[in-house]
Amino acid sequence: MKRFFSFAVSAVAAIVLVFFFLLTGQALAQDKKIKIGFQKSSTLLILLKGNGNLEKALAPLGFAVEWNEFTSGLPMVEALNVGALDLSADVADTVPLFAQSAGTEFTYFLQEKPSPTAQGIVVSKDSPIQKTADLKGKKLAVAKASGSHYLTVAALNKAGLVFGKDVEISYLQPADARMAFESGAIDAWTTWDPFLATVEIKSEARKIADGTTVDAPYTRFYPISTKFLAENSEVAKVVADELTKIGKWVKENPDEAAKIQAPLVGLDQDVVKLGNSRRSYAVAPVDKVAIDGQQLIADVFVQEKLLPKRINPADVPIWKGQ
């Protein structure tokens, strides 16, 4: 009897241990997460955050998603360097260049193919300024290290004007720049969607230049933590698949996408729809064409003394989708 009792106790203890390890393993799996940064212009990630599709797709891998909102792109990429983020939302082409120049470690994960009309230089509807050359002696606001920064430099160069010399430059983030623009404190503003669409619709601002005016394709990139990618390749594949799917869906369903997205970003549907119409949302691996474009931008920024030294974007690792 004692032996039977001892055996029963041992069996129960074994069952308890099995359940303990199963529950512990499940808890540990639930503790795994991918930390993603996003901002107001991060359409695809905002939609994925809203519909929960990314969480559903990652659940079989035992991963949850931690969402972190940023007001600009460069801090997101820099956050990869210190482990505060695993994946940055799409950022303008210039942002990875400034991050690389500062020694930030990251990998080019994906790109959204060029959207040259999704950024532009605008003036007020009653402004006498009709073309870029008319900006001489005027005040212009732009966000430093943004894609609009490069557009401004390229457009001024083409018009025979020197950035920061012939035109007074104010480095302002979109919220402050819009206030300055609408109050008349500045004469022009270079910005991107949805901020561009907002002032075009709400303030009837006029666009005098965009990426089609000069060689400014405006490719957006998704930087990812090199360490996270090396350790979680399957997670990266899932994220890439979900971004590709939602990008196609937005272009195929513009009205429904704008209806869903508008309340998530606090903008009117007509603003969101206009902005979305100018973005490609074509998610793809980063290719040589994209990196060659990065080199062109970097070289211009070095020439303009906006980057301290020449960099080679091809030195940054590129995810091959393996």
pLDDT along the chain (322 residues), means of 10: 44 41 43 92 95 97 97 91 96 95 96 97 97 98 92 96 96 95 97 96 97 92 97 97 98 97 95 97 96 95 91 96 69
Helix or strand (DSSP H, E) at 122: strand 119-123
Note whether 108 and 137 are same-domain residues.
no
Nearest of 215, 139, 149 to residue 184 by alpha carbon = 139
Give domain status of residue 24, yes or no: no
The whole model's pTM is what? 0.86
Note whether 204 and 90 are same-domain residues.
no
Domain boundary among 191, 210, 229: 210
Give domain status of residue 246, yes or no: yes
Note whether 238 and 271 are same-domain residues.
yes
Note whether 171 and 292 are same-domain residues.
no
pLDDT for residue 322: 60
Residue spans of alpha helices (H) in the chain: 2-31, 43-51, 53-58, 73-81, 94-101, 147-158, 174-183, 195-202, 226-231, 233-252, 254-265, 269-277, 288-303
Note whether 267 and 127 are same-domain residues.
no
* 285 contacts 204 by C-beta, under 8 angstroms: no
Give domain status of residue 101, yes or no: yes
Query: Could you give the CA distance from residue 107 to residue 226 in angstroms, rounded to a whole number?
Result: 5
User: What residues have CB less than 8 Å from 97, skipping those under 6 apart?
Assistant: 294, 297, 298, 301, 307, 311, 313
Give domain status of residue 162, yes or no: yes
Note whether 132 and 96 are same-domain residues.
no
Give domain status of residue 295, yes or no: yes
Category of 275 on φ-ψ map: left (φ > 0), alpha (ψ -120 to 50) or beta: alpha
Containing structural domain, residue 170 = 116-210
